[in-house]
């Protein structure tokens, strides 16, 4: 655990030299590096690393609302709050026995949160790094309220890419998507891998649990595995929107792509005492290990 501008960050390391950093601000993963020390998540050069808002990059926890669809601040309040380390399971680093390095975090609503969202919950987040550098996030959200509540959710994941025009996503072709750029109108993909040449802001619904983000220039790709999260949000702000975001460089849209495992189209409802689990696993595959050799 180390101090970063007054807020603790937990550093996870694999025996092979991979690492990840998780901030107690937002429960946000702020760094994930491979065994060559290369950063795999995007962070804006203009990102602000202090409360009240989540920094622009990494993996943000969007809960209990994704986007602007409800009455709360965009993407909910969880990404802006200070989480605590769940003391029942203190952070561990790799012990060499093949077990994962992990940290467990916990968020409970404050009195102020309850004023704008009057539902008692416990949100437990485990972030783990495997010995081969795979990054896993497991969220468990429990209703500790006397009545049911509903929420939407996303792991808002900023992947670092070398050139957005060279990137394609496989696994979403032929799916329906809701287009945030036209009032969530529903469209159907026409069968090709997704590529990028303008602003994209879509919720692909009922997607497969494994998708791939292929980045030709950088010669590594991401495999995204999810569970309990039916949708995938794909976002790149492109040129015009980038210029409207104060914590984002004008040209940085070329180096990032958000691909979020999410539950957006249909809200998740928990009865009193019930718990929901949503998992994300990210692997970075270097192409020097595979086909072109």
Site residues for ligand BG6 per CB under 6 A? 67, 74-75, 156, 180, 201, 233, 235, 258, 260
Cβ proximity to ligand BG6, 113 vs 260, nearer residue: 260
Cβ 94 to ligand BG6, closest distance in Å? Answer: 32
Nearest to 84 by CA among 138, 156, 12, 10: 10
Smaller CB separation from ligand BG6, 138 or 156: 156
Q: Residue 83: how many CA atoms within 13 Å on its side-chain side?
A: 30
**Minimal distance, residue 44 CB to ligand BG6, in Å:** 11
Please name the residues in contact with 66: beta carbons below 8 A apart, sequence gap of 6 or more: 75, 76, 152, 153, 154, 233, 262, 263, 264
When the beta carbons of 20 and 234 are compared against ligand BG6, the nearer one is: 234
Instruction: Tell me whether residue 99 or residue 182 sits nearer to ligand BG6 (CB atom).
Output: 182
- Min dist CB 59 to ligand BG6, Å, is 12
Residue 67 CB, shortest distance to ligand BG6, in Å, is 6
Q: Is 256 helix (H, G, I), strand (E, B) or coil?
A: strand
Q: Which lies closer to ligand BG6 via its Cβ, residue 77 or residue 102?
A: 77
For residue 277, the minimal CB distance to ligand BG6 (Å) is: 22
How long a stretch of residues is the chain? 293
Min separation Cβ 239 and ligand BG6, Å: 14
**Residue 45: CB minimum distance to ligand BG6, A:** 16
In the sheet with 167-170, reading across from the earlier edge strand, the strands are 84-85, 101-107, 121-129, 135-143, 275-286, 220-227, 210-215, 167-170
Residue for token digits 């495997």? Answer: 130
DSSP lists the bridge partners of residue 213 as 169, 222
Nearer to ligand BG6, 42 or 235 (CB): 235
Which CB, 4 or 53, lies closer to ligand BG6?
53
Residue 120's contacts (CB-CB under 8 Å, 6 or more residues apart) are 108, 109, 114, 143, 144, 145
Which pair of tokens denotes residue 204? 């692909």
Residues 6+ apart with CB under 8 A from 113: 77, 81
């Amino acid at each position: 655990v180390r101090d970063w501008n007054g807020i603790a960050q937990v550093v996870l390391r694999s025996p092979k030299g991979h690492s990840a950093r998780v901030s107690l601000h937002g429960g946000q993963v702020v760094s994930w590096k491979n065994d060559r020390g290369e950063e795999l998540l995007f962070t804006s050069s203009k990102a602000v690393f202090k409360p009240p808002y989540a920094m622009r990059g990494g993996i943000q926890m969007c809960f209990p609302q994704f986007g602007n669809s409800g009455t709360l601040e965009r993407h909910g309040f969880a990404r802006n709050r200070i989480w605590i380390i769940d003391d029942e399971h203190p952070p561990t680093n790799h012990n060499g026995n093949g077990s994962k390095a992990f940290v467990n975090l916990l968020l409970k609503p404050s009195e102020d949160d309850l004023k704008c969202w009057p539902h008692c919950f416990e949100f437990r987040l485990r972030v783990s790094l495997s010995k081969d550098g795979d990054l896993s996030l497991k969220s468990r959200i429990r209703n500790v309220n006397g009545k049911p509540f509903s929420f939407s959710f996303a792991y808002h994941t900023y992947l670092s890419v070398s050139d957005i025009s060279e990137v394609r996503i496989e696994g979403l072709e032929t799916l329906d998507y809701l287009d945030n750029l036209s009032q969530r109108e529903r469209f159907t993909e026409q069968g090709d891998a997704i590529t990028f040449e303008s602003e994209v802001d879509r919720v692909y619904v009922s997607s497969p649990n494994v998708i791939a983000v292929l980045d030709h220039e950088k010669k590594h790709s991401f495999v995204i595995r999810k569970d309990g999260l039916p949708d995938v949000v794909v976002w790149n702000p492109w040129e015009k929107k980038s210029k409207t975001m104060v914590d984002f460089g004008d040209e940085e849209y070329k180096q990032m792509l958000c691909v979020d495992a999410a539950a957006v189209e249909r809200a998740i409802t928990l009865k009193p005492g019930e718990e929901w689990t949503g998992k994300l696993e990210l692997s970075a595959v270097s192409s020097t290990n595979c086909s072109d050799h």
